[in-house]
Amino acid sequence: MYVLHFLLIFVAATNYKILMKNSLHKEFNKLFNKEAENAYFSPGRVNLIGEHIDYNGGLVMPCAITFGTYLLVSPNEDGMFRFRSLNFEDKLDIPLQAGYTKTGESWFNYPLGVIEYFLKEGHPLRGLDMLFYGDIPISSGLSSSASIEVVTAFALNELMDSNYTKLELVKLAKSVENNFIGVNCGIMDQFAVAFGEKDKALMLNCDTLDYQAVDSNLGDHVLAIINTNKPRKLAESKYNERVQECHAALTALKQQIDINNLCDIDTATFNKYSHLITDAIILKRARHVVEENDRVKLAAIALSNNNLSEFGRLMYASHDSLRDLYEVSGKELDAIVEYSKTDTNVAGARMTGAGFGGCAIALVKQSAFDSYSKNVIEYYKDKIGYIPSVYSSLIGDGVGELKSVVIED
């Protein structure tokens, strides 16, 4: 069973590489009858700690991963936008026009939304033939949506000389997600996939947008990503509900303290004023946010002192809080963390991203990665009834142009 599972993962990964190397340009050629002129890549991301913090103006610690979205593109002369994907069958051909609205739930709404924002902000565009390919598992909470938004925005900016800075592109991509797609996300995902750096975590202040790229210092540990493979049906509406709840908490606190964000106060101050929040659920949500923000500060110190066991302790505490106070975990993510806690080769583990399914991460001793994978799969299968996917991930660079689509092994 396990042998078969590993084999499948291996074959899939190998296929991806072969597909990248040999097929992206060929596929483009087949679809559009011409060569792709440019190729771009934007990664996905994981967040090491600081969850549901970005829209509360606090500190987060994401990093870009090596899975991501590829975009091959050529301008055309007939003023059409043509969207194709190697992941999805649905496609769209739409003429260049004054503006666009979201059509259905299809994947191409993400690049369409980016085009809408370029036009809305007064940037002239021309027709483009575009082929997308992503190797981020869809709906896994690894930011496939931020990845496709940012790769499109980056490509348009280069191709049309729109002169946006990278930070402006990040903000534009976030507006697309908030207003065109309709998810009230914070800025973390778009920021991480744009500014990510190889082997670095980004310490980002989501209020000021100041950030530092810090050595990820995992020592003899690797970052394991464990995908629950649970379909995330209600994730968007539940996410927006949490944003509302934080808003309600902030409004209550503002009766007596002059703050703009929940993360403007630390746990001690929160304890002093928490009586202002009379709804028990809202109180739990706010407590998670304030304590999690304090945990990120401690995690940054732990990382800079190479204190991986303290970093791991904070990861577990973060997970417990997301499970009990913020209530965005679920039995699938909990099972992965429960198992990890029993494995002495794991420094720490937690859910990452919005929650409600998606992925967990674990810091696992490199030499024990295979046994960890085997055991976590077994534990999860017994509890949940199907198997998760386990990846060992590298921390990669942010968005950029690919001079060649050939990917190094």
Widest CA span of the chain, in angstroms? Answer: 67
Report the site for ligand GLA in 27-66 (rule: CB under 6 A).
Answer: 47, 51-52, 54-55
Nearer to ligand GLA, 130 or 354 (CB): 354
Residue 185 touches ligand GLA, criterion: CB under 6 A = yes
Catalytic one of 54, 129, 135, 189 = 189
Residue nearest to ligand GLA (CB): 185
Walk across the sheet containing 359-365 and list its strands.
Answer: 346-352, 359-365, 221-227, 389-393
Q: Which stretch binds ligand GLA (CB under 6 A): 102-110, 183-191, 265-273, 394-402?
A: 183-191
The residue with tokens 């949500």 is 285
Q: Does 334 contact ligand GLA by CB under 6 A?
A: no
Coarse DSSP helix, strand, coil percentages of the chain, rounded to the nearest 5 percent: 45, 20, 35
353 binds ligand GLA (CB under 6 A): yes
Query: Is 232 among the residues that bind ligand GLA (CB under 6 A)?
Result: no
- CB nearer to ligand GLA: pick between 82 and 350: 350
Distance of closest approach, residue 285 Cβ to ligand GLA, in angstroms: 13
**Would you count residue 396 as binding ligand GLA (CB under 6 A)?**
no
Based on CB atoms, which residue is closest to ligand GLA, 188 or 336?
188
Is 230 one of the binding residues for ligand GLA (CB under 6 A)? no
C-beta neighbour count of 288 within 10 angstroms: 27
Instruction: Report whether 360 contacts 336 (CB < 8 A).
Output: yes
Whether 210 is catalytic is: no
Sole binder of ligand GLA in the list 181, 354, 376, 390 (CB under 6 A): 354
DSSP symbols for 104-136: TT-TTHHHHHHHHHHHHTT-----EEEEEEE-S
Fill in the DSSP letter of residue 395.
B
Token pair belonging to 167: 């930070």
Closest CB 281 distance from ligand GLA, rounded Å: 18
Residue type for 218, please? Answer: L
Of 356 and 379, nearer to ligand GLA (C-beta) is 356
Residue 35 C-beta: closest distance to ligand GLA, Å: 35
Least spacing, CB of residue 81 vs ligand GLA, in Å: 25
Of 218, 224, 223, the closest CA to residue 374 belongs to 224
Q: Does 351 contact ligand GLA by CB under 6 A?
A: no
292 binds ligand GLA per the rule CB under 6 A: no
- Complex with ligand GLA: residue 329 or 373, whichever CB lies closer: 329
Is residue 128 a contact residue for ligand GLA (CB under 6 A)? no
Backbone angles phi, psi at 47, to 5 degrees: -110, 120
Q: In the complex, what is the shortest distance from the CB of residue 239 to ligand GLA, in angstroms, rounded to a whole number?
A: 7
* Secondary structure (3-state) at 392: strand
Nearer to ligand GLA, 353 or 388 (CB): 353
Nearer to ligand GLA, 188 or 263 (CB): 188
Is residue 398 part of the contact set for ligand GLA (CB under 6 A)?
no
Residue 354: CB minimum distance to ligand GLA, A? 3
Q: Mapped to the 3 state alphabet, what secondary structure does 354-388 carry?
A: CCCCCEEEEEEEHHHHHHHHHHHHHHHHHHHCCCC
Backbone φ and ψ for 111, nearest 5 degrees, come out as -65, -35
Which residues are bridge partners to 132 per DSSP? 71, 85
User: Considering the complex, what minimum distance in angstroms separates the CB of residue 130 from ligand GLA?
Assistant: 23
CA distances from residue 44 to 66, 187, 281, 399 in whole angstroms, order as listed:
7, 14, 32, 10
Q: Between the CA of residue 186 and those of 55, 59, 287, what are the distances in Å?
A: 4, 12, 19
Binding site for ligand GLA (CB under 6 A): 47, 51-52, 54-55, 185-186, 188-189, 353-354
Indicate which residues carry an active-site annotation.
189
